[in-house]
Amino acid sequence: MRILSYYVLFTLESDGLTDYKEFVKGEHVKNGVAALEKKNVRSLAVLGKFGNSVSSTSRRILSEYAKHKKWKSHLCRFIDIPDSVEENTILFVYGWFGFLNDDLCSTVTVQRACHRLEQMLNNTRSVKVIVGMRSDLRTRYDKYLEEFTNLLLHKAIHLDSENVNKDVEYLKFFEEKIKNPCEDGECECKHLTYDMLQDGKDKNVGIPLILNVIARYHDLVPNYRKDRDILKALSDHFTALGENNDMKFVYEWIIYICLKGKFSRLDLFDEKMVIDVGLQIRKDTFNENEVHMQRYIRMRYSDQHNNVSAEEAQYVFWHPFIYICAFHSLYQKDRELIMRHCNVNAILELVRPRGFKTSYIEVSADDHAVNMFNNRLRENNLVEKYKDHPLVKL
Ligand SMILES: [Zn+2]
């Protein structure tokens, strides 16, 4: 019974029935469904910048299409594509090039996934695929993707275009969910304007995500107003959480999930790491802290969609961006902790060696940190696997 109630709580959260608003334009969903209805269109790419509702728009197209055609639907990451699917199935494939960011050595895996999807389409008559991908990555890796534009990536919906109607909807959300509910007359949100959200340092992040983050964590308004940088404001929020004794265990769970990348009740709890890092949480304290954790994490969408039980499901931060901010906060505080204990995928996706141009969401590592990571890869025989990454030394 207890388990059931947790499941319901997380489901509500990820359905957006609490305060998470998915800005999905009906027009995009309608166009997407209409495009897929054409017999010769077997696949649709949904492209948009980070935080511009790529995933939620894709999921909506998936479910509308499946409902309309009475088809089955399936969600998976590009590394988890099933060997085969039944006829009359629509798939949504996400996480291309990496879950948080591109890991700089995933082009082979991406091409393999594209081949697999094309094969699947060739071997079936009525299977369709939605590819959700970051628009900047689609452009950056164009030469690796162009061979797949006949069957797989030939049709696309672009979510980045400027649109006056969208601004009206965002402004309404800004007033109704951020400014109006705040009863503190002295609060800095009274001086925050929608224009400020549009021309800060965080231009690489879509407005829908910025709005959702500020709506959920109102306490970061003063910092946001000062720096106009949502990544900095949210990573400072995590740092402050670490200094709040009442939230000690919540913060430790955030560290745990950041280092491991996810939590599942079924997975082995990494006691060795917990001791090495000096955390005091135990596996059974997850449920006790769950109420507070809900602000930060949810069940993985694919688990929720594919009806995985709460016991088996994986819990992750509610958006990759939230993970990235927790990572930045920890990295600033203790980069050795990250390089020694954080999951290798996150490091490959977010850390670049010194001298390498870093983007907004990436961090730079000095030689000491790079060496530490390479020692770890050598101990685990992973050097060969990731040898194309600039962090890895042969
Ligand atoms: Zn306020």
**pLDDT tens-place string over residues 80-93:** 999 999 999 999 99
- Which secondary structure element, helix H or strand E, spans residue 92, and what is its range? strand 89-94
Mean predicted confidence (pLDDT) in 3-22: 40
Rounded Cα–Cα distance for residues 253 and 264 (Å) = 12
Whole-number Å distance, alpha carbon 171 to ligand 1 midpoint, is 16
- Retrieve residue 2's tokens: 């207890």
CA of 125 to the centre of ligand 1 (A): 54
pLDDT, residue 2, reads 34
CB within 8 A of 375, min separation 6: which ones? none
Q: Report the separation in Å between the CA atom of 184 and the middle of ligand 1, taken as the mean of its atom positions.
A: 6
- What pLDDT band is residue 20 in, cutting at 50, 70 and 90? low
Distance 179 CA to ligand 1 centre (A): 6
The closest of 181, 171, 110 to 146, measured between CA atoms, is 110
**Where do we find the tokens 């705040």?**
182
Task: Go through the domains of the chain in sequence order and give each one's CATH number.
Answer: 7-158 (3.40.50.300), 164-228 (no CATH), 244-379 (no CATH)
Which residues have CB atoms below 5 A from the ion given as ligand 1?
Answer: 182, 187, 189
Residues 92, 98, 102, 104, Cα dihedral to 10°? -120
What is the C-alpha radius of gyration for the chain, rounded to an integer number of angstroms?
21
Question: Ligand 1 mean position to 127 CA, how many Å?
Answer: 48
pLDDT in tens, 202-258: 988 999 999 999 999 999 999 999 999 999 999 999 999 999 999 999 999 999 999
